[in-house]
């Protein structure tokens, strides 16, 4: 099935590059031999592609085309020849340097009021439990942990989104999840909506919501059941 993506870099001399899928998943290798259309690929080009894995398990495109419909010209898959000078010899002209595609402007969050309401509901139990620990046991660290680690999580998502757009080294998903587990899930939820990042990858979202559910269960047990389920596992 075809997916949408953007060609984040392209080596025209060697005829290959990498596609960043629109859903934020791992980038995909693409070779000129799988390109269909009437023009050669360029960095920053929006494409449609079909991904697969090779014998080594690496992601690669088995079909790629531009977003618009166009007749296929096999000539685009031939290696471009260097221009010849007046003496008949090949002159090696340096390829023009392509500028990195500009980053997309931040779009307004859709249904922001509804999503803020859901976030407030999800934060209600952790906030109530953290305030209780602060007032009754003088333990400020749960409340501080949610605040500080959420900021760290937000920054991680911002950096990973930027890396996805520019083809740089990505933040491992396990790192994002560990930060969420340590209390950064509110910041992660905000970052996902602000940057529209990781919102459509189902396997990633399943782990995020399992972490959120675990935090809700811990505070529900402490506030309602008196810690009968998790009392021996937590240091407070």
pTM of the model: 0.58
Helices (H), 31-140: 112-137
- Name the CA radius of gyration of the chain, rounded: 24
pLDDT of residue 14: 87
Q: How confident is the model at residue 3 (pLDDT cuts 50, 70, 90)?
A: confident
Contact indicator for 49, 61 with CB cutoff of 8 Å: yes
Extents of the domains making up the chain = 3-77, 112-224
Strands (E), the chain: 3-11, 16-21, 28-31, 35-36, 46-53, 59-66
Closest CA to 149 of 117, 172, 176: 176
pLDDT digits (tens, 9 = 90+) for 149-195: 999 999 999 999 888 877 788 889 999 999 999 999 999 999 999 99
Candidates 1.10.3290.10, 2.40.50.140, 3.30.830.10, 3.30.1330.10; CATH matching 3-77? 2.40.50.140
């Amino acid at each position: 099935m075809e997916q949408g993506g953007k060609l984040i870099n392209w080596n025209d001399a060697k005829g290959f590059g990498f596609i960043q899928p629109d859903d934020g998943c791992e980038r995909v290798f693409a070779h000129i031999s799988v390109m269909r259309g009437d023009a050669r690929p360029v960095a920053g080009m929006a494409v449609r592609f079909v991904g697969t894995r090779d014998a080594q398990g690496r992601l690669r495109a088995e079909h790629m085309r531009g977003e618009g419909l166009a007749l296929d010209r096999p000539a685009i898959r031939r290696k471009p020849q260097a221009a010849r000078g007046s003496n008949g010899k090949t002159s090696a002209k340096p390829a023009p340097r392509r500028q990195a595609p500009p980053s997309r402007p931040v779009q307004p969050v859709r249904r922001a009021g509804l999503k803020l309401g859901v976030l407030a509901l999800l934060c209600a139990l952790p906030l109530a439990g953290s305030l209780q620990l602060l007032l009754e046991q003088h333990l400020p660290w749960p409340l501080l942990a949610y605040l500080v680690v959420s900021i760290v999580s937000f920054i991680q998502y911002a950096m990973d989104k930027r890396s996805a757009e520019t083809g740089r080294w990505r933040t491992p998903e396990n790192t994002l999840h560990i930060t969420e587990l340590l209390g950064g899930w509110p910041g992660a939820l905000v970052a996902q909506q602000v940057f529209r990042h990781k919102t459509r990858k189902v396997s990633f979202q399943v782990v995020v919501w399992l972490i959120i559910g675990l935090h809700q269960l811990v505070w529900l047990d402490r506030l309602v059941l008196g810690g009968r389920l998790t009392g021996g596992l937590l240091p407070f």
